[in-house]
Structure 1
């Protein structure tokens, strides 16, 4: 499968998806968003892939927002369709993925670029990263889930301040707010992402997928019921029996994803 705006590499069970529009600061035009959705779905369907890392080409940007030129001719219905399609095919697909997806933020993550990172399960930022949602400076608001996912991560007041001021924050500030999980030196960003992903990949894959679904249900009104259902379903898997047996036998488990 070939892509115009992405580089895809597979290594040790990890699918690396790199947004490859460095001259445009990896801005997310509609083609790029479509390709990200396609690449993510292909990786999730690939039995040889256990996790995904999304990053941007070069050192300057993870993804510096949407391609604003594409907004110029939109009316309300066009804006609605753009947001709906992106949410369903890209951002929700990432958030609801049954395999762990890490955003390795290597520079500017602005607007849709930050929203892409927010949809990922874990975020790691280079120390030189800058993050923000500048949409109100264009007379817009975040339309790819930013108002919802940022609020869940850092709380209503802090989310409103970021969105309403349109200010960028540093990687260190993002770490303090809980927006990112780790901050690293630029040259070890991908190494740190791989390290975390490899640790997750050593765990029971069906349990990892169940945990993602349960965490995603937090705050929806049926989070506890989802957790109970997912917990119960684990007992029908061979991996749970293997994990319990390995613990009792004091050995490392051999999970098969069954």
Structure 2
């Protein structure tokens, strides 16, 4: 499928999703969110894709926020609908996906851009990137999971400080706070993302999907995370991948997982 606001590239089993609105600092408008929903859904369903790297076009911005021009005419109902649709169709979709998603934060990640990065399973930032949730400067709060995911990643006190002051933080600060997994030079950003994802792709795909589900359950008050872990652990015993993994271990060879 051809997209107006995204570039899709493949590198063996890795699918790149590049937000391609460089003149708008890759801001997320409704059309881009709709395309992200389609692209991510298709990637999760594509058996040729093992994992996804999301990044922004150019070197200035990952995603510099939502497209504020679309907010002017919204009332309470439409504003609520906007947040609920974005959460369901993009941000929660990524977080609860069955394949690993890495955010390669190549520049500004502000507002909805930082929320997009936080929905990904792993975040890698260029050392010149800057991050923040400046919504209160517009009379808003984060609406795509920012209050929840930031609190889980950096703790309540730091989340309150970042959101209430609307201050940006640097990539080294983000690493110190636990907001990103790694910081690297701009030139090394995609190489590092690929290195991590290619290592994950050597592991059993169904086990990776189960790990994502179980780890997400740890911060979901609606479910018992321990029960989820037990269930997912048990399901692994019904896979050919487990048989392959055990056989390879006993035979002292590298496993060849098929994802079944």
Task: Report SS of the residue matched to 1:80.
Answer: helix
Offset from partner CA, 1:103-155 (integer Å, 9 cap, x none): 00000000000000000000000000000000000010000000011111111
Alpha-carbon distance between aligned partners in 2 of 1:162 and 1:249, rounded to the nearest angstrom:
52
Matches within 5 A, 1:171-210: 171-210=171-210
Per-residue CA shift, 1:31-57, capped at 9, x if unaligned? 111111110001111110000000000
Structure 1 unaligned blocks of 5 or more: none
| 2:6 aligned residue | 6
Residue equivalent to 1:255? 257
For 2:250 and 2:166, how far apart are their aligned partners in 1? 53
Runs of 4+ in 1 over 6 A off after TM superposition: none
Residue 119 (structure 2) aligns with: 119
Indicate the residue corresponding to 2:83 in structure 1: 83
In the other structure, the counterpart of 2:161 is: 161
Match of 2:144 in 1: 144
Deviation of residue 219 (structure 1)?
2.7
Residue 236 of structure 2: aligned partner: 234
- Are residues 1:28 and 2:32 paired? no
CA distance in 2, matches of 1:47, 1:152: 31
> Unaligned stretches of 5+ in structure 2?
none
Q: Deviations over 1:203-240 (max 9, x none)?
A: 00000000000001003241111001101111111111
The size of the alignment, in residue pairs, is 258
* CA distance in 1: counterparts of 2:95 and 2:83, whole angstroms: 16
What is the CA–CA distance in structure 2 between the aligned matches of 1:244 and 1:157, rounded to whole Å?
44
SS at match of 2:9: strand
Which SS does the other structure have where 1:16 is aligned?
strand
Secondary structure of the corresponding residue to residue 104 of structure 1: strand
Q: What is residue 47 of structure 2 aligned with on the other side? A: 47
For 1:56 and 1:47, the matched residues in 2 are separated by: 25
Q: Partners in 2 of 1:248 and 1:80 — Cα distance?
A: 54
Alignment TM-score, normalising by the size of structure 1: 0.99
* SS of the residue 1:102 aligns to: strand
Q: Distance in 1 between matches of 2:91 and 2:174?
A: 20
Which residue of structure 1 aligns with residue 226 of structure 2? Answer: 224
Q: Aligned partners of 1:15, 1:135: CA distance in 2, in Å?
A: 31
Quote the residue 2:104 is aligned against. 104
* C-alpha RMSD over aligned residues: 0.6
